[in-house]
Amino acid sequence: MDKMKGHVLEADSMWLEYEGCKILQNIYLQMQTGHVTGLLGRNGTGKSSLMQMIFGTLRGQNQSVRFNGDYVSHPYQHPGLISYLPQHAFIPSNLRVSEVCRLYKVDFTDLCRHFQDLEQYNLTRVKDLSTGNRRLLGTLLVLLMPVAFTLLDEPFAALSPLSIEQMRRVITEQKARKGILISDHAYEDVLGLADATYLIVPVGRSILLKDVYSELEEFGYL
């Protein structure tokens, strides 16, 4: 994938129902390399499901993900296209930090450049890391992977205020190389980073916010 060229990833007509209950209806969302896109919505509005549909691991009733206008059926199966940080711990606990970095093609020294405290954990197994460090490792790995687009589901959860501040800097740095979609309940952090923000409102419709704070109040998010 040519990293110098601008790329666009579009999610269109995303429709998801569980046992007849509508979660997402006709969602449209656009991401671009060089941009951070925010995704906000109240609990249970389907943000995580939408991310998993874009990633390609969750199939809805209808979905269309396009990369530079070309339909991609399972984006995660395309090398160098997309990475996803799920809400829950996802790294097998018996692996060593250095091994996970190698598998994800992430330079451990690059990881430590952002968070020096991680330096001591090179040979540590993931299960021996604290919950916060495990989350930090997962988020950094997904962010630093050599892909065109990254989806971050609650990247600031379980992080201390200082780590959140540093993570914001990493996201800003990485934005120069890729397109990033962030969803987090720390909405001020998301809004501070995002070049464009979508709000998912009941029942499962997306709105591209223009006058952000007044629209967030208008649609009952704030």
Side-by-side strand order, sheet with 8-18: 21-32, 8-18, 62-67, 70-72
Each residue 133-162 as x (binds another protein by CB under 8 A) or -, in order, gives ---------x--x-----------------
Residues 6 or more apart whose CB falls under 8 angstroms from that of 214 comprise: none
Of 15, 28, 76, 221, the one binding another protein (CB under 8 A) is 76
CA distance linking residue 147 with residue 9, whole number of Å: 12
Regarding 103 and contact with another protein (CB under 8 A), the answer is yes
Residue 144 or 170 having the CB closest to another protein: 144
Asked whether position 78 contacts another protein by CB under 8 A, the answer is: yes
95 binds another protein (CB under 8 A): yes
CB contact at 8 A, 198 and 37: yes
Q: Quick one: which segment of 14-22, 30-38, 103-111, 193-201 binds another protein (CB under 8 A)? A: 103-111
The yes or no reply on residue 164 touching another protein (CB under 8 A) is: no
Among 26-34, 53-61, 116-124, 194-202, which window interacts with another protein (CB under 8 A)? 53-61
Residue in 33, 48, 54, 55 binding another protein, rule: CB under 8 A: 55
Which residues are within 8 A (CB) of 5 and not within 5 positions of it... i.e. 6 or more apart? Answer: 33
Classify each residue of 132-154 as buried b or exposed e, where b means 16 or more C-beta atoms within 10 Å of its C-beta: ebbbbbbbbbbbbbebbbbbbbb
Does 18 contact another protein by CB under 8 A? no
Torsion of CA 126, 131, 137, 140, to 10 degrees: 160
Residue 121 binds another protein, judged by CB under 8 A: no
Q: State the minimum distance, in angstroms, from the CB of residue 55 to another protein.
A: 7
> Would you give the DSSP letter of residue 79?
T
Is 57 a binding residue for another protein by CB under 8 A? The answer is yes
Q: Does 98 bind another protein (CB under 8 A)?
A: no
In whole angstroms, how close is the CB of 141 to another protein at the nearest point? 8
Q: Which is nearer to another protein, 30 or 86 (CB)?
A: 86
Q: Judge contact between 51 and 103, C-beta under 8 A.
A: no
Distance CA 133, CA 101 (A): 14
CA-only gyration radius of the chain, Å: 17
Q: Which residues bind another protein (CB under 8 A)?
A: 55-57, 74, 76-79, 83-84, 86, 88-92, 94-95, 103-105, 142, 145
